[in-house]
Amino acid sequence: MEAQEKDELKELRERLMVSPRLVWDHADAATREVIMAYGERYKAFLDRAKTERQAVEEIERQARAQGFVDLTGNAPGARTFYNYRGKTMVLAVAGRRPPSQGLRLIASHIDSPRLDLKQYPVYEDTDLAFLKTHYYGGIKKYQWLARPLALHGVILKADGTRVELAVGEDAGDPVFTVCDLLPHLARKAQMDKKVTEAFEGEKLNILVGSLPLGDKETKERFKLYLLKYLEERYGIQEEDFISAELEAVPAGPARDLGWDRSLVGGYGQDDRSCAFASLEAILETPEPEYTSLALFYDKEEVGSDGNTAAKSCLIEDVVERLLERAGESPQLWRRALMASRAISGDVTGALDPDYPEVHEKRNAARLGYGVAFHKYGGSGGKYSTNDANAEYVAWIRKIFQEHGVVWQAGELGKVDEGGGGTIAKYLAVYGMEILDCGTPLLSMHSPFEVASKADLYMTFRGYQAFFTGA
Ligand code: MN
Ligand code: MN
């Protein structure tokens, strides 16, 4: 082959074929530093926001520090927040155009799989004190055994007193655990069973103490010791657990992963990777063309049901208030949403080299290749999912290209392998254009999820481009 012909083929190949871009190949020394600094802020966010309530508090704290005012109050301001019941949060930045011409929304979720305490959680067995749990979201139950757990949450007493609790994160704190069976005796109880049957929800009981109160004549003296401690420490009685929301989560901070520190390992990255990216993006957005919203929803992991979830009417109220603030009729909320463009910011499973059989490698998101589009999700024949319109996907591609965002497209696993959903379909009912777009993770939904710092940063860059890209 002549040299000229070779060059032509090379040019043709580069022009015609898609080639995935590894973020690190396109990151000079300065960009690498920015990526690493972003990773530090991100880990700090993960540590402060281990529950949806803590995430809302942290988002409000950062928003207030940047001059955001309460959307439901009277204080004037183009930058507003809406803290809904302490579990769902919306940040909004008014655009140059009136809201009725459409909004720019990025919606993520701030709840993560975990073990919730039951209504009557406290009991003793075999001279040990335990708490009963009911798991929340899609967990592989064995991953929650034999590991240190922290307890976070609130207890509301009948008189309205609110008690906040967070135990197990500080070095001096005690931790808790769900015990696992020793391998020596696990043959019939676990090893010979299917994984779905070997680990039972009713055995996810948290060990919390072993000291008795009184003597052998004292009834339930291990439970009694615990209840006495809880009353002295928190002023609560057993009945107060009925109006409590206490969540057991993996104890300890998010960590750099790998000798090169290129990855982050930690709990709750589904979906706080996207939540943090949209938080930083909206905090940094000056007056945009279109009114821009970052929505942080609760209850995604259990199907978005409930008054703090994406299926609620919250967004309608938010848009009515934004219209009023802009001097427009609140009745235009539906028109504003029909004209809106949105990103459903949620994570996806990255290609796992140990389990290539569940992925279709040509259409799997890969760690390090940037923020990932999912045109559709769901399961089976594209059931239960939003399927973004091609026109809209093309528009997002253009915005991302213009802003130098490294991105990839994929779908979650092989056809008929399994599947998963996001909140995109619940927002799509309002008529807005919406695309799933977020960070790829390894070990998704586990107590120690893994993300690439490069992808985390590109998630932020993509969201920033979306808000500022007109
Ligand atoms: Mn998610
Ligand atoms: Mn999830």
* Residue 427 confidence (pLDDT) above 80: yes
Distance (angstroms) between ligand 2 centre and the Cα of 137 equals 8
In-domain check, residue 381: yes
Whether residues 231 and 354 fall in one domain: no
**Number of structural domains, the chain?**
2
Instruction: Report, as an integer, the average pLDDT of 188-199.
Output: 96
Ligand nearest to the CA of 346: 1
Of 195, 219, 250, which closes a domain?
250
Distance (angstroms) between ligand 1 centre and the Cα of 57 equals 20
Q: What is the pLDDT of residues 7-40, one digit of tens each?
A: 999 999 999 999 999 999 999 999 999 999 999 9
Distance (angstroms) between ligand 2 centre and the Cα of 109 equals 9
Tokens, residue 375: 């045109």
Distance (angstroms) between ligand 2 centre and the Cα of 438 equals 12
Distance (angstroms) between ligand 1 centre and the Cα of 445 equals 9
Length of the chain equals 470
Distance (angstroms) between ligand 1 centre and the Cα of 432 equals 20
* Residue 392 confidence (pLDDT) above 70: yes
State the first-to-last Cα distance of the chain, in angstroms, to the nearest integer: 47
Distance (angstroms) between ligand 1 centre and the Cα of 220 equals 41
Distance (angstroms) between ligand 1 centre and the Cα of 76 equals 34
Q: What is the pLDDT of residues 253-284, one digit of tens each?
A: 999 999 999 999 999 999 999 999 999 999 99
* Residue 470 confidence (pLDDT) above 80: no
351 and 441 Cβ atoms separated by less than 8 Å: no
In-domain check, residue 14: no
Q: What is the pLDDT of residues 377-389, one digit of tens each?
A: 999 999 999 999 9
Q: What is the pLDDT of residues 318-331, one digit of tens each?
A: 999 999 999 999 99
Of 250, 277, 307, which closes a domain?
250
Indicate the helix (H) or strand (E) that contains 210.
none
In-domain check, residue 16: no
Q: What is the pLDDT of residues 42-55, one digit of tens each?
A: 999 999 999 999 99
- Give the domain range for residue 396: 22-112+267-468
Distance (angstroms) between ligand 1 centre and the Cα of 454 equals 19
* Residue 237 confidence (pLDDT) above 80: yes
Instruction: Report, as an integer, the average pLDDT of 158-179.
Output: 97
Ligand nearest to the CA of 344: 1
Ligand nearest to the CA of 108: 1
The CATH number that applies at residue 193 is 2.30.250.10
Distance (angstroms) between ligand 1 centre and the Cα of 6 equals 46
pTM: 0.97
DSSP state of 388: -
Q: What is the pLDDT of residue 469?
A: 82
Distance (angstroms) between ligand 2 centre and the Cα of 270 equals 5
Ion ligand 1 neighbours, Cβ < 5 Å: 270-271, 346
Average pLDDT of the residues of the chain: 97
Distance (angstroms) between ligand 1 centre and the Cα of 33 equals 28
Q: Give residues with Cβ within 8 angstroms of 409, minimum separation 6.
A: 363, 365, 372, 373, 374, 375
Whether residues 208 and 141 fall in one domain: yes
Distance (angstroms) between ligand 2 centre and the Cα of 305 equals 14
How far apart are alpha carbons 439 and 290 in whole angstroms?
Answer: 25
* Residue 81 confidence (pLDDT) above 70: yes
Ligand nearest to the CA of 436: 1
Whether residues 95 and 126 fall in one domain: no
Tokens, residue 104: 């720019």
To the nearest whole percent, how much of the chain has pLDDT over 70?
Answer: 100
CB crowding 420-447: b at 16 or more within 10 Å, else e? bbbbbbbbbebebbbbbbbbbbbbbbbb
Whether residues 329 and 434 fall in one domain: yes
Q: What is the pLDDT of residue 1?
A: 77
- Phi and psi of 344, rounded to 5°? -90, 105
Distance (angstroms) between ligand 1 centre and the Cα of 176 equals 26
Instruction: Report, as an integer, the average pLDDT of 74-97.
Output: 97
Ligand nearest to the CA of 301: 2
Instruction: Report, as an integer, the average pLDDT of 443-466.
Output: 98
In-domain check, residue 7: no
Of 222, 250, 278, which closes a domain?
250
Whether residues 50 and 78 fall in one domain: yes
Q: What is the pLDDT of residue 139?
A: 97
